[in-house]
Structure 1
Amino acid sequence: MGTPAELTGPDLKIGVVDGELREGAPLLGHVDGEAVVLVRDAGVIHAVGATCSH
């Protein structure tokens, strides 16, 4: 297995300023040592894991 990637972006557990998350623009961050992407779609914020399992 390879070396884990360095985490980038804000610690999303702490939170981000609402204005940092623009409609349709992904924001890469991390939670508890895991990479996470946030995206706002039609005003709803979604979070998904940012590490591909392939």
Structure 2
Amino acid sequence: MKLISILLMILGIVGILLSFMMFGDIGIAAFIGSLAALLSGIGFWQAHKALHLPSKQ
């Protein structure tokens, strides 16, 4: 899960940078898609941390 989150965050960052080089509607669509990948990566990272915390009993 940690590997997936890292790959999604890298993909999101690269996609955002590339979307700034595109024109018009394609750039907006690429930005939205890469933002979704970045947020998914952050969500996977948080889920990984929550699943691997020791329980306090």
TM over 0.5: no
More strand as a share of residues: 1
Structure whose alpha-carbon radius of gyration is higher: 2
More helix as a share of residues: 2
Q: Place the TM-score, normalised by the shorter chain, in its bin.
A: under 0.3
TM-score (norm: length of structure 1)? 0.26
TM-score (norm: length of structure 2)? 0.26
